[in-house]
């Protein structure tokens, strides 16, 4: 069967090629094409099964309708949730999403960013894995629209949307202190990423604010294995904590396994809290009190920022160069894992 083209519709409607093209491109009013002519062309296009040439549309609009999404690891429920929301929201707006799982490897991220930039994509959403910023600076020089989610660099003029990690940790530690806990251990993730640094700062400031010493800060990665190892070592100490604050749900799982192996009950023997609020926390033997990150809000705001930047570029509007810094305050989800010592 012969493909339906603009010429086919023109012949079927006895309307000029130029007019048919303008109707199909949605600019009838601009060129004062009558409603009757517009209706005739659209009816013929539908009847004849006309399908627009997407490549031609992309060239005309100077867009590829593809977005790169660079994720530290899909094994972490927090990141996989973000990836799902971003993919669905952008797909609904007509974009395809190219997802790269970096497995928390800086080299993989650098290579992924280079490959995506070479594919003529419209923009990128990145959650950085490493400390290197050179490949991200290249994106700025290439004028590729980019937005950070969750992790970011304050000294790099790339806009970001993130949970207010400092405020979340500050709220949680104050909640534990208000419940009578003074010996609160903090098990952290990767030291170099902004969310971890801000969460540790929130822990430290909350303890200092109540004139309490930092009881313990340990850990070096957002992994189950690290949470397990740190808890094993922590609970060998003579001066044991009354509460543990895990700085991610992946760390939390390791914490809980180590405590269970050593015969500690939550919250009877030790209280436990976490930062992330994965859906499974309600189904643990003792549901765990957590900081709930507004993931959907973060993702949708980041998408809006990125699409605005893409539109500015396609319309040849010079960007202001101003870094938009959006932090959203999280909330505590109170469950049963914090024992009241007062």
Asked if 99 and 129 sit in the same domain, the reply is: yes
- Residue 119, pLDDT score: 87
Asked if 147 and 137 sit in the same domain, the reply is: yes
Asked if 243 and 175 sit in the same domain, the reply is: yes
SS3 at position 28: coil
The closest alpha carbon to 127, from 136, 139, 115, belongs to: 136
What does the angle CA 191 – CA 160 – CA 155 come to, to the nearest 5 degrees? 60
- Residue 290, pLDDT score: 98
Query: Which stretches of the chain drop beneath a pLDDT of 50?
Result: 1
Asked if 27 and 119 sit in the same domain, the reply is: no
Contact call for residues 219 and 230 (beta carbons, < 8 A):
yes
pTM over 0.85: no
Confirm whether 336 is domain-assigned.
no
The pair of structure tokens assigned to 182 is 């003074």
Asked if 82 and 156 sit in the same domain, the reply is: yes
- Residue 211, pLDDT score: 97
- Residue 242, pLDDT score: 98
Confirm whether 319 is domain-assigned.
yes
CATH of residue 307: 3.40.50.2300
Asked if 84 and 174 sit in the same domain, the reply is: no
- Residue 1, pLDDT score: 44
Full domain range(s) for residue 36: 6-52
Asked if 117 and 135 sit in the same domain, the reply is: yes
Asked if 229 and 202 sit in the same domain, the reply is: yes
Confirm whether 339 is domain-assigned.
no
Contact call for residues 161 and 146 (beta carbons, < 8 A):
no
Confirm whether 17 is domain-assigned.
yes
Confirm whether 58 is domain-assigned.
no
Strands 331-333 and 216-218 come out as unpaired
Which residue blocks in the chain are alpha helix, DSSP H?
Answer: 6-13, 17-24, 35-47, 54-61, 77-92, 106-117, 134-141, 165-178, 194-209, 224-234, 249-261, 295-314
Asked if 156 and 300 sit in the same domain, the reply is: yes
pLDDT in tens, 158-204: 999 999 999 999 999 999 999 999 999 999 999 999 999 999 999 99
Strands 289-292 and 331-333 come out as antiparallel
Q: How many domains does the chain have?
A: 3
The closest alpha carbon to 187, from 208, 166, 175, 203, belongs to: 203
Confirm whether 242 is domain-assigned.
yes
Asked if 196 and 239 sit in the same domain, the reply is: yes
Confirm whether 202 is domain-assigned.
yes
CATH of residue 25: 1.10.260
Q: What is the side-by-side order of every strand in the sheet holding 271-276?
A: 216-218, 184-187, 243-246, 271-276, 289-292, 331-333
pLDDT in tens, 297-328: 999 999 999 999 998 887 777 766 678 999 99
Asked if 217 and 325 sit in the same domain, the reply is: no
Confirm whether 59 is domain-assigned.
no
Asked if 32 and 77 sit in the same domain, the reply is: no
């Amino acid at each position: 069967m012969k493909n339906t083209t603009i010429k086919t519709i023109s012949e079927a409607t006895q309307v000029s090629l130029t007019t048919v093209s303008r109707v199909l491109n949605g600019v009838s009013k601009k060129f004062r094409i009558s409603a009757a002519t517009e209706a005739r062309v659209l009816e013929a296009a539908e009847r004849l099964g006309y399908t627009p040439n997407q490549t031609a549309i992309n060239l005309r609009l100077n867009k590829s309708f593809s977005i790169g999404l660079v994720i530290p690891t899909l094994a972490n429920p927090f990141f996989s949730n973000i990836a799902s929301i971003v993919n669905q929201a952008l797909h609904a707006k007509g974009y395809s999403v190219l997802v790269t799982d970096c497995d928390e490897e800086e080299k993989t991220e650098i290579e992924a960013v280079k490959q995506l930039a070479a594919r003529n994509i419209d923009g990128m959403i990145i959650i950085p894995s490493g400390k290197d910023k050179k490949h991200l600076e290249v994106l700025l020089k290439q004028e590729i629209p980019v937005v950070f989610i969750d992790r970011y660099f304050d000294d790099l003029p790339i806009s970001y949307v993130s949970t207010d990690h400092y405020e979340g940790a500050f709220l949680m530690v104050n909640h534990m202190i208000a419940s009578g806990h003074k010996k609160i251990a903090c098990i952290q993730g990767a030291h170099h990423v902004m969310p971890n640094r801000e969460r540790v700062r929130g822990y430290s400031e909350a303890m200092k604010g109540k004139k309490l010493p930092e009881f313990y800060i340990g850990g070096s990665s957002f992994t189950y294995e690290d949470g397990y190892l740190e808890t094993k070592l922590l609970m060998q100490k003579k001066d044991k904590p009354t509460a543990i604050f895990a700085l991610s749900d992946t760390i939390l799982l390791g914490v809980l396994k180590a405590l269970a192996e050593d015969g500690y009950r939550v919250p009877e023997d030790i209280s436990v809290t976490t930062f992330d609020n994965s859906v499974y926390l309600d189904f643990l033997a003792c549901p765990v009190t957590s900081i709930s990150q507004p993931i959907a809000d973060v993702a949708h705001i980041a998408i809006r920022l990125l699409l605005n930047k893409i539109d500015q570029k396609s319309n040849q509007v010079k960007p202001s160069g101003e870094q938009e810094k959006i932090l959203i305050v999280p909330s505590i989800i109170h469950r049963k894992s914090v024992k009241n010592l007062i």
